[in-house]
């Protein structure tokens, strides 16, 4: 047994963050439904990669079609024929697959009999081969994350889904808590740690109970359960680590630097699917919601399915949506149309009616009310960062630690002067990246 490790199972409500109307009631009790197979699946690697197939090839579901330079594989999510393969300027590989409608599985998709008996290194390789990436939005390959973490004290499974509207992790925890727990055990083994905690929020009691039962059934007493405040952004990786352990991830560093490995609950379930069911990452759960969808719900969707098809599975549009947002209303991205495909990072699609989004309001000058300072989870001074961003004052931006901004949108949310602070910070970061220094 390694050294003892304790965590805060009921951290107090944080001083930072904001209370956002959750809108989760629309979908939190909606059982996971299977979305229909797409006639065409569009897949892309998140990083530079080499294609393993070419146009005209026949592929089966779960067959590797590309391998990233980082070693992480991308798999066909349906069976059929490769319609097109292309490589973008950045080296990312795009693959389009025409479905044959049969969804036949590739031979390589076989369960592993005893994953916990494998050496951790082998397990990490299998995670890379299975294309398991962070489903919380980072898309970082789990196998790699495990390799790069020097010494993992504890694994943190993040089920604290703090963004409004989104319930994909909550429903996963409610309906497939066992998969999440099994996944956590696999990831613990792969990380070589004997400590783990699964974090949920105070407003998801059913998920907590399901997890509690699953943990009791598994009999694995190395995995703890923590309930954190439902204040946004309590589920942010850095915020969660701070609340559970008191440790802070150093600026510019990774959780591994302080001995923690954070994985999304969906990622843990995907790891269990890979090793126990033999399914590489071909699907994920997506919440489809918003006033502009006829039948909001949670869908298990093959990656590469066009958003339009996913919305159709949810009964189609209702009324005239003012925005189509991928992700939540705080950190999501408004889409120009619904042609884009579901990726491993797509946790939610919100078709927002005009009522669901804030009306455009004229920007007033900053009155230094300090509300943004209070709300910022990174303890930044957003009002000063704003002035520095707008003046392009590089030294001031560095002094004020622009890099610590996680673009959570809390400062915007509270600003009485309706200043688009987060957009300004994102632009300032982009400007800094593009400038050679």
Partner 1 sequence: MKFTRSSGPYWRPVQDVPAMMRHVLYALAPAAAAHSFFFGPGLWINLCVAGITALATEAIALRLRGAPLQLHLSDGSALVSAALLALCLPPLLPWWVTATGTAFAIGVVKHLYGGLGLNLFNPAMAGYALLLLVFPAHMTNWLPPHVDDLDYQALSLWQTLQFTATGNLPATLGLDAVTGATPLDVLRTELGRMRTLTEIAADPVFGDFGGRGWEWVGNFVTLGGLWLLYRGIIRWQIPAGMLAGVLAGSLLLYLADPQTHASPLFHLYAGGTLLGAFFIATDPVSACVTDRGRLIYGAGCGLVTVAIRSWAAFPDGVAFAVLLMNVLAPLIDRYCRPRVYGTG
Task: Say whether residue 12 binds partner 1 (CB under 8 A).
Answer: no
Alpha carbons 269 and 184: distance in angstroms, whole number: 8
Query: Which position has the token pair 């705080």?
Result: 330
Task: Report residue 126: phi and psi, to 5°.
Answer: -65, -35
Residue list 376-435, contact with partner 1 (CB under 8 A): 377-381, 383, 400-401, 404, 409, 412-418, 420, 422-423, 426
Three-state DSSP state, 72: coil
Taking residues 316 to 355 in sequence order and writing x for each that binds partner 1 by CB under 8 A, - otherwise, the string is -x---xxxxx---xxxxxxxxxx-------------x---
Among 342, 375, 388, 428, binds ligand SF4 (CB under 6 A): 375
Q: Which does 325 bind (CB under 5 to 8 A by kind): partner 1, ligand SF4, none?
A: partner 1
| Stretch (H or E) spanning 266 | helix 265-272
Q: How far is the CB of 417 from partner 1 (least distance, A)?
A: 6
CB 75 within 8 A of CB 81: no
**How many residues belong to the site for partner 1 (CB under 8 A)?**
64
Alpha carbons 220 and 216: distance in angstroms, whole number: 7
> In terms of DSSP bridges, do strands 92-99 and 80-87 run parallel, antiparallel, or are they unpaired?
antiparallel
- Give whichever of 122 and 363 is closer to ligand SF4, judged by the CB atom: 363
For the chain, the maximum distance between any two Cα atoms, rounded to a whole number of angstroms, is: 63
Cβ neighbors of 82 (< 8 A, separation 6 or more) are 53, 54, 55, 56, 57, 58, 59, 65, 95, 96, 97, 98
Q: Which does 56 bind (CB under 5 to 8 A by kind): ligand SF4, partner 1, none?
A: none
Residue list 257-316, contact with ligand SF4 (CB under 6 A): none
CB 103 within 8 A of CB 86: no
Among 67, 174, 176, 238, binds partner 1 (CB under 8 A): 238
Q: How far is the CB of 379 from ligand SF4 (least distance, A)?
A: 8
Q: Which does 413 bind (CB under 5 to 8 A by kind): partner 1, ligand SF4, none?
A: partner 1
CA atoms within 13 A on the CB side of 148: 13
| Cα angle 97-347-19, degrees, rounded to a multiple of 5 | 165
- Give whichever of 151 and 368 is closer to ligand SF4, judged by the CB atom: 368
Among 4, 362, 395, 433, binds partner 1 (CB under 8 A): 362
Residues in the chain, overall count: 437
Q: How far is the CB of 16 from ligand SF4 (least distance, A)?
A: 8
Among 380, 388, 424, 428, binds ligand SF4 (CB under 6 A): 380
Torsional sign, CA 261, 263, 269, 275: negative
Alpha carbons 181 and 190: distance in angstroms, whole number: 14
Among 216, 369, 423, 427, binds ligand SF4 (CB under 6 A): 369
Residue list 348-367, contact with ligand SF4 (CB under 6 A): 366-367
**How far lies 14's CA from each of 153, 160, 251, in Å?**
24, 14, 20
- Give whichever of 194 and 405 is closer to ligand SF4, judged by the CB atom: 405
CB 126 within 8 A of CB 144: no
Burial of 234 (0-12, 13-18, 19+ CB in 10 A): buried
> In terms of DSSP bridges, do strands 196-201 and 223-228 run parallel, antiparallel, or are they unpaired?
parallel
Q: How far is the CB of 166 from ligand SF4 (least distance, A)?
A: 18
Alpha carbons 70 and 408: distance in angstroms, whole number: 28
Binding part of the chain for ligand SF4, among 46-54, 71-79, 168-176, 380-388 by CB under 6 A, reads: 380-388
- Give whichever of 63 and 158 is closer to ligand SF4, judged by the CB atom: 158
Q: Which does 331 bind (CB under 5 to 8 A by kind): partner 1, ligand SF4, none?
A: partner 1
Residue 410 tokens read as: 């809390």
Taking residues 392 to 431 in sequence order and writing x for each that binds ligand SF4 by CB under 6 A, - otherwise, the string is -------------xxxxxxx--xxxx-x-xx--x------
Binding region for ligand SF4 (CB under 6 A): 366-372, 375-378, 380, 382-383, 386, 405-411, 414-417, 419, 421-422, 425
Binding region for partner 1 (CB under 8 A): 20-21, 164, 238, 242, 248-253, 308, 317, 321-325, 329-338, 352, 356-358, 361-362, 364-370, 373-374, 377-381, 383, 400-401, 404, 409, 412-418, 420, 422-423, 426
């Amino acid at each position: 047994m390694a050294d003892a490790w304790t965590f805060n199972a009921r951290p107090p409500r944080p001083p930072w963050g904001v209370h956002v109307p959750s809108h989760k009631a629309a979908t939190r009790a909606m059982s996971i439904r299977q979305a229909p197979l797409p006639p065409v699946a569009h897949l892309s690697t998140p990083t530079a990669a080499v294609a393993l197939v070419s146009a005209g090839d026949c592929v089966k579901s779960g067959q590797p079609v590309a391998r990233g330079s980082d070693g992480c594989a991308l798999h066909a999510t349906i069976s059929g024929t490769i319609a097109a393969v292309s490589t973008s300027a950045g080296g990312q590989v795009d693959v389009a697959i025409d479905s044959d409608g049969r969804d036949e599985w590739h031979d390589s998709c076989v369960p592993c009999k005893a994953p916990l008996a494998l050496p951790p290194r082998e397990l990490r390789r299998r995670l890379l081969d299975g294309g398991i990436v962070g489903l919380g939005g980072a898309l970082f390959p789990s196998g790699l994350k495990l390799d790069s973490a020097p010494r993992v004290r504890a694994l943190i499974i993040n089920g604290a889904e703090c963004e409004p509207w989104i319930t994909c992790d909550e429903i996963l925890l409610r309906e497939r808590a066992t998969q999440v727990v099994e996944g956590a055990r696999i990831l613990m083994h792969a990380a070589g740690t004997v400590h783990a905690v699964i974090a949920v929020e105070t407003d998801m009691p059913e998920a907590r109970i399901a997890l509690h039962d699953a943990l009791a059934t598994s009999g694995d007493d190395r995995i703890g359960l923590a309930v954190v405040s439902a204040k946004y952004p309590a589920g942010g990786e850095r915020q969660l680590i701070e609340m559970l352990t008191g440790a802070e991830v150093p600026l510019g560093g990774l959780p591994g630097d302080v001995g923690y490995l954070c994985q999304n609950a969906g990622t843990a379930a995907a790891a269990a699917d890979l090793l126990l069911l033999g399914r590489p990452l071909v699907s994920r759960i997506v919440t489809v919601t918003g006033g502009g969808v006829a039948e909001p719900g949670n869908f298990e969707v093959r990656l590469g399915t066009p958003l339009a098809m996913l919305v159709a599975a949810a009964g189609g549009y209702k009324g005239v949506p003012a925005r189509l947002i991928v992700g939540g209303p705080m950190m999501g991205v408004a889409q120009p149309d619904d042609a884009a495909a579901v990726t491993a990072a797509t946790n939610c699609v919100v078709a927002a009616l005009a009522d669901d989004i804030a009306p455009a309001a004229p920007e007033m000058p900053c009155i230094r009310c300090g509300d943004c300072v209070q709300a910022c989870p990174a303890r930044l001074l957003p009002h000063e960062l704003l002035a520095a961003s707008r003046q392009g004052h590089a030294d001031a931006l560095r002094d004020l630690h622009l890099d610590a901004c996680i673009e959570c949108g809390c400062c915007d949310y509270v600003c009485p002067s309706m200043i688009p602070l987060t957009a300004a910070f994102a632009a300032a970061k982009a400007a800094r990246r593009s400038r050679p220094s």
